[in-house]
Structure 1
């Protein structure tokens, strides 16, 4: 049923889904019912490869598969030789702030940078060292110096100048400081000075809180902050393309946390930042950048607190008026994820049973008929039509498989009968709306 799955992927899938979260790796093995969305993403990736930039909004109910879709996009993009990064919006980070919350989001993005050989994140040092080696090789060739000799101390200024020259050519705002810190990273890398290398990485990830601290450690007078972090993301995008990657995909999930910002002026500033990014991408002001936002219908369409409360965004993000449930337009900026149907969920649960058996090296006595009985029991429970999400179906199914694995004689029908449906949706959205009306 599933080929080429690795043990590490199987463990990640089972452990993550049992915990109610999307696995970082292996999601392609459990993808069902999203072929049109994936095909649209592949088309967009081709456009970004060719120098365009794109923003997409993935909209769906809680538990409908938004986070799964972003992780699936990661897998597809990495195969297309993109650098990717994921970050969640939280009450402590956002796109616009003046109290450090934007640079926290930036740091989360940089922490989670991934490439095909490091799909779980933490790939920034690997990428920097790869690029530095490319600069060293190119400088050696241009100056007819052997690859062994070019690493000698006498040629370090030559390499430093090459790094600065290349960075200045590909960057715009903040390029000098950006290049200067990469030079520091090179110094630490070539001399095996781990502290200097870590300090340079700390600066590039936006982890310096004060200019004084950065100046003491690196001799750099500026730091990455709430006002310049987006420029640094664009600089990194250009650096990744310079080293041979197709582009930079950034996925930002849990956008409902922007909707929940209590101060309307701050919320509007965040939407203004989304508009600025949107315009940059679609007006050609930035190249090879693909940004995805994932949020609920409330985040998009609520006229008081959502993106539609900001008229300039509403006019750009309203659905194609010729679209219907049967006739979809996947080229538009907003893609609304439809719930998986029962046949698709059945296929998904069969895949999960296979992966579960593979992970635990077992062969549980759970047939297709048993899976159908589980689904029938679950979808006929009171409240299922209103509250049941794929996340809850998957988690209950895996929990039952775990019980059967450890207690082979257990009565499956009794387990199915003990299923209960609960409303997993956050209960604070309606409260927020009522407060806004006061």
Structure 2
């Protein structure tokens, strides 16, 4: 049943799921019940490859698999030759701010840039050097210079001119400083000046906080900040496409942290930024860009704090009124993640048992009948229908496997009987009451 899983992937899957988080590697090996969503996503990727742009909102209850879905989208997009970047919204990372919290989100995305050969992130330097090599090759051909000689210091002005010319063609806003920094990176690249390269990367990742410091280190007039970071993301998207990549996909998880912004004005500014991105993508103002947001139903539908509190977004994101649980519309911007069926959960637990055995080089005496017994015990507990999430089912199952591996004599049935249902969902009513109090103050 295991399909070419690597030891590194197996370890990442087991350790991450035991810790209650989604693994960065190997999610394709534990995917069940999401075939229609993935098929629709592949069609959307094809549209973005052809020059369109897309925004999707992945909406589901707490623990329903939103973060898992984003990681799965990563895996699929990387195989389709997309550049991918991921970040979570946090109290200190948001789309709009005037105190550095928006550029902090940008910096997190830049740190997590991934390509198929570097799926865990940190691929920005690799992509820059690949692009520079392309410029070197074209410059050598244009001037009739042998490729090994083009890196000589005497040809530096020719290469710098080519870099700046190409950057100006690719960028709309901030192109001069963007190009100057890339030239500095190239200068450090051919002269083995690691400090200069680090300064250039620092600027490109939005980590300079003052213009004075950036001017001293790189001779540029501007820095990436809260108000221009989105333009820089679009610049990078064009750069990646010029390298031959299919497009640039950005995944933004934990949208609950936008919902939790305590001041109505700031929350509205963040929703306004989502609207700007949405309009840019669907009106054709930007190409080859795919942005995914993930959040709970409350984040979407709450008319006091959620996206629906911003009328322009509500009118765009309301669900197709003809959609049902059986008849789905995956072409619309909002994709609702329905709970896994019991059969799908059973298949998932079977896969996890195999991966667990593979990871620990063991063969636990846990049969299909035992998995059925585990599920029957768990799903028949009081409160299961209301509180039980895939995250809790997976964690309980792996915890039992872990105990059985280290204590082979334990009674499985007794372990199943000791299972308890816990409500792991955040108390949204308490959150709302607290935020309402803050807002009133």
TM-score range, shorter chain: over 0.9
* Superposition pairs of residues 121-140 of structure 1, within 5 angstroms: 121-140=121-140
Name the SS of the counterpart of 1:347 in structure 2. Answer: helix
Q: Distance in 2 between matches of 1:85 and 1:54?
A: 15
Q: Which residue of 1 aligns with 2:113?
A: 113
How far did 1:415 drift?
1.0
Q: Distance in 2 between matches of 1:373 and 1:36?
A: 29
| Conserved 8 A contact 2:262-2:435 | no
Secondary structure of residue in 1 paired with 2:93: coil
Instruction: Provide, for residues 88-146 of structure 1, a one-character-per-residue CA deviation record: whole Å limited to 9, x for no partner.
Output: 00011100000000000000000000000000111111111111111111111222211
Displacement of 1:431 in angstroms is 3.5
Partner of 1:252, secondary structure, is strand
Q: Equivalent residue for 1:159?
A: 159
Residue in 2 that maps onto 1:57: 57
Identify the residue that residue 387 of structure 2 maps to in structure 1. Answer: 387
SS at match of 1:113: coil
Mean Cα displacement is larger for which, 374-383 or 239-248? 374-383
Rounded to whole Å, the distance in 2 between the matches of 1:340 and 1:429 is: 26
What SS does structure 2 have at the residue aligned with 1:25? Answer: coil
1:275-327 superposed Cα distances (whole Å, 9 cap, x missing partner): 00000000000000000000000000001000000000000000111111111
Residue of structure 1 equivalent to 2:23: 23
CA distance in 1, matches of 2:92, 2:188: 32
Instruction: Name the counterpart of 1:286.
Output: 286
Query: Is 1:211 equivalent to 2:208 in the alignment?
Result: no
> Quick check: 2:65–2:390 contact (8 Å CA) kept in 1?
yes
SS at match of 2:13: helix
- Offset from partner CA, 1:209-253 (integer Å, 9 cap, x none): 111111111111110000000000000000000011000000000
Secondary structure of 1:24's match?
coil
Greater alpha carbon shift after TM alignment, 41-50 vs 419-428: 419-428
1:321 is aligned to 2:326: no
Match of 2:363 in 1: 363
Is the deviation greater in 80-89 or in 138-147? 138-147
Q: Deviations over 1:37-91 (max 9, x none)?
A: 0011100000000000000000000100000000000001001000001100001
Q: Is the 8 A contact 2:181 2:200 kept in 1?
A: yes
- Indicate how the Cα distance of structure 1 residues 429 and 185 shifts in structure 2: closer, same or farther if over 3 A, else same: farther
Q: Say if 2:260 and 2:435, in contact at 8 Å, map to a contact too.
A: no
Aligned twin of 1:342: 342
Counterparts of 2:387 and 2:73, CA distance in 1: 27
- RMSD across aligned C-alpha pairs, in angstroms? 1.0
Where 2:400 maps in the other structure, the secondary structure is helix
**Uncovered stretches (5+) of structure 1, i.e. residues with no partner:** none
Change (3 A) 1:95 1:121: same
SS of equivalent residue, structure 1 residue 398: helix
* Offset of residue 435 of structure 1: 5.0
Pairing 1:185-264 to 2, within 5 Å after superposition: 185-264=185-264
Question: Once the 2 structures are TM-superposed, how far is the Cα of residue 200 of structure 1 from its aligned partner?
Answer: 0.4
- What is the rounded CA distance, in whole Å, between the counterparts of 2:196 and 2:431 in structure 1? 49
SS of residue matched to 2:249: strand
Residue equivalent to 1:267 = 267
**Contiguous gaps of at least 5 residues in structure 2:** none
Query: Structure 1 residue 428: deviation in Å?
Result: 4.5
User: Match of 2:150, SS?
Assistant: helix
d(CA) in 2 for partners of 1:134 and 1:428? 52
Match of 1:77 in 2: 77
Q: Structure 1 residues 435 and 198, CA, compared in 2 at 3 Å: closer, same or farther? A: closer
- Give me the whole-angstrom Cα distance separating, in 2, the residues matched to 1:433 and 1:264: 14
Q: Secondary structure at the match of 1:86?
A: strand
Partners of 1:178 and 1:426 lie apart in 2 by: 42
Q: 3-state SS of the aligned residue for 1:261?
A: coil
TM-score, normalised to structure 1, is 0.99
Question: 1:305-355: per-residue Cα shift (whole Å, max 9, x none)?
Answer: 000000000000001111111110000000000000110000000001111
Quote how far apart the aligned CAs of 1:436 are.
2.9
Structure 2 match to 1:301 = 301
Q: Distance in 2 between matches of 1:206 and 1:356?
A: 41
Q: Which SS does the other structure have where 1:148 is aligned?
A: helix
Q: 2:170–2:239: 8 Å Cα contact kept in structure 1?
A: yes
CA distance in 2 between partners of 1:207 and 1:376 (Å): 52
Q: CA deviation at 1:429?
A: 4.4
Could you tell me how far apart the structure 1 residues matched to 2:426 and 2:162 are?
52
- SS class of match (1:316): helix
SS at match of 1:151: coil
How many angstroms does 1:430 deviate by? Answer: 3.8
